[in-house]
Structure 1
Amino acid sequence: DGALVEAVKTFQDYHGLAVDGVIGNNTLAEINVPIRQKLIQMELNMERRRWMPDFLGDTYVFVNLADQNLKLVKNGKTWHTTRVVVGKPYHATPVFSDEMTYVEINPYWNVPYSIATKEYLPKLRQNPNALSAQNIRVFSGEQEVAPTQIAWNSYSGSNFPFKLRQDPGGRNALGRIKFMFPNQFNIYIHDTPSKTLFDRAQRDFSHGCIRVSDPFALGDVLLSDQGYDRSRLEAIRDAGARKVVKLKEPVQVHLTYLTAWMNKDGSTHFRRDIYDRDEVLLKALARAMTENL
């Protein structure tokens, strides 16, 4: 009946499932998780939270990789929440904190070396013009090189000397805006042309960076007090030229991995351990406890 359907929807929401009120395989699997396992999961995430600073910043961006959601908090109040796509298990997004310092509209995409050699080089061996339709250009140092003039079969992952760069535009892999917090992992938050992935309950599809739904709404919340509201950001986007906007004050960014947590309203939430980190942490804590006896 209606009450049962609503109860199932609430359960699905608390477990990061598709909220449809239907007890399918994924919902049934979560219903059948023993309470002892959920208690252990809560203990593990209390440990993870203990590792984080007590004060996250006056203004900060908080991304829970297991939840695949982002929130922006100002003075203890959540101003913006949105869905994100995170790294697939093979390209798991790391956990760390850093400072966002600038936003780039109509960015170039400098193709990472691993993607250039593992994914694009085989295509270029087959067809030197394979990337032209994606507006990806080839550079040797600072000099652009025609892809048809390169003997691609002479190169591999060990001696690839070129840089691949995608021009700004609607097909750019970073979309039309990116949010930069320079870090050793080369991870950042950005737009994407692949909008349909945000409709999925499980969203681990990227190479490690964080793709954000409706990024110009996020830009509005971050930059409107600097005179860059959504309409101005979109006008810059539509003009097509690359533009860098520095933040007046750096914003803390926290990439976290919490598979269980409690909200302020008392609701307890659980998420799939997409990177299989719970078991690793459980073994590490058990080993530490044994060593301290």
Structure 2
Amino acid sequence: QLEDPTLFDSAMYRGLQDYQESNGMNPDGVIGTLVAESLNKSPQDLIDIASINMERLRWMPALDWKKEMVLVNVANYQLDYLQNSDTTFSAKVIVGKEYNESPTFTAPMSYIVFSPYWNIPESITNEEIIPSLRKNSNYLAEKNMEVVNGSGEVVKATQVNLSKDQGYRVRQKPGGDNSLGLVKFMFPNEYNIYIHDTPARSLFEKETRALSHGCIRIQNPDQFAKILLNNSDWDDEKIQAAMNQQNEEVVELDRDIPVVILYMTFWADADGKANFRSDVYNRDAALLKALRSNKSGLDQA
């Protein structure tokens, strides 16, 4: 028993680090926002969170957990690659910002794009690029971007008005400063979400990683590519060369790999240990309210 439970000594520091690590936080020994939020949950709060996530599991399509799959838990900021019910690769991920949340769904991954172009969405062009161009006419060149027509042919930016002319779009050329990084992993879906590298790798050290426009950024993408290709022809040297070309290269996988995007703020691991994560998108309260209302036919929140 502690002589003074209010004294923050070295034993308390180590205990706090252990608590942070077991709850998916950076073990820095500092009582920050996530630690305070977690410690202030009552036993009933934890029971409610478990109930909410059991409901989420009920919504999931039937999955053969013994088969190969990619599992991303948005609330845990982590990607896991599973084979025969065993996790053989894990990586930190960055997910969508609160105002641009990453959705939950399943889709088959079918190909990889090395040294990709970034075809910039119209919303980002309108909200970010056009205003920047008005302030700086050299903005596109400085960001390694170019304008292309509907056929993918490069045109001079001065010849078109991006805010008025139809059929033109902006793309960022392959390279180390490309917003998609050096490789992207494609599982075509209605949300236009995919997994990709990022030049801003320092962001993986952040504790809360809801920072992207909606797609999923992955740490150590070269290792992930090597696992997915699963081919002796694709060694480390060849992958690095493919990731650092001037032109993008599409590589079809020899099989479709299910990608499962989840939002789980609670789960139990193989040893039965309870894992709780912060509800970064504030989805739990609405689902708990619906569960308590005893209404049938719940839609996914």
TM-score by length of 1: 0.91
Cα distance in 2, alignment partners of residues 161 and 205 from structure 1: 30
Q: Indicate how the Cα distance of structure 1 residues 277 and 238 shifts in structure 2: closer, same or farther if over 3 A, else same.
A: same
- Residue among 57, 79, 89 paired with 2:88: 79
Q: Indicate the larger mover: 169-178 or 241-250.
A: 241-250
- Residue among 197, 214, 219 paired with 1:213: 219
- Report SS of the residue matched to 1:280: helix
Q: Indicate the larger mover: 18-27 or 172-181.
A: 18-27
Contact 2:174-2:182 within 8 A present in 1 as well: yes
The residue aligned with 2:15 is 7
User: What letter is aligned with 1:34?
Assistant: S
Cα distance in 2, alignment partners of residues 57 and 160 from structure 1: 48
The residue aligned with 2:150 is 141
Contact 1:14-1:268 within 8 A present in 2 as well: no
The residue aligned with 1:183 is 189
The residue aligned with 1:114 is 123
The residue aligned with 1:192 is 198
The residue aligned with 2:108 is 99
Task: Kindly state the Cα deviation for residue 12 of structure 1 after the two structures are TM-superposed.
Answer: 1.0
Per-residue Cα deviation, 1:245-270 (whole angstroms, up to 9, x for no partner): 11111100000000011111222111
Task: Kindly state the Cα deviation for residue 130 of structure 1 after the two structures are TM-superposed.
Answer: 1.3
Cα distance in 1, alignment partners of residues 230 and 238 from structure 2: 9
Q: Indicate the larger mover: 116-125 or 53-62.
A: 53-62
1:150 corresponds to 2:160: yes
The residue aligned with 2:67 is 58
The residue aligned with 2:138 is 129
Task: Kindly state the Cα deviation for residue 55 of structure 1 after the two structures are TM-superposed.
Answer: 2.0
Contact 1:219-1:230 within 8 A present in 2 as well: no
Q: Indicate how the Cα distance of structure 1 residues 147 and 55 shifts in structure 2: closer, same or farther if over 3 A, else same.
A: same
1:38 corresponds to 2:46: yes
Task: Kindly state the Cα deviation for residue 289 of structure 1 after the two structures are TM-superposed.
Answer: 3.6
Contact 1:103-1:246 within 8 A present in 2 as well: yes
- Report SS of the residue matched to 1:55: coil
Q: Indicate how the Cα distance of structure 1 residues 243 and 76 shifts in structure 2: closer, same or farther if over 3 A, else same.
A: same
The residue aligned with 1:234 is 240
Q: Indicate how the Cα distance of structure 1 residues 188 and 74 shifts in structure 2: closer, same or farther if over 3 A, else same.
A: same
Give identity over the alignment, percent. 38
1:275 corresponds to 2:281: yes
Extract unaligned runs of 5+ from structure 1.
none
Task: Kindly state the Cα deviation for residue 23 of structure 1 after the two structures are TM-superposed.
Answer: 2.9
Q: Which has the higher helix share?
A: 1
Task: Kindly state the Cα deviation for residue 291 of structure 1 after the two structures are TM-superposed.
Answer: 9.6
Q: How does 1:239-258 map to 2 (within 5 A)?
A: 239-258=245-264
Task: Kindly state the Cα deviation for residue 120 of structure 1 after the two structures are TM-superposed.
Answer: 0.9
User: What letter is aligned with 1:21?
Assistant: G
Cα distance in 2, alignment partners of residues 112 and 84 from structure 1: 21
Q: Indicate the larger mover: 278-287 or 36-45.
A: 278-287
Contact 1:60-1:74 within 8 A present in 2 as well: yes
- Report SS of the residue matched to 1:178: strand
Cα distance in 1, alignment partners of residues 81 and 297 from structure 2: 40
Q: Indicate the larger mover: 178-187 or 4-13.
A: 4-13
1:262 corresponds to 2:268: yes
Extract unaligned runs of 5+ from structure 2.
1-8
Cα distance in 2, alignment partners of residues 88 and 144 from structure 1: 32
Q: Indicate how the Cα distance of structure 1 residues 277 and 124 shifts in structure 2: closer, same or farther if over 3 A, else same.
A: same
TM-score by length of 2: 0.89
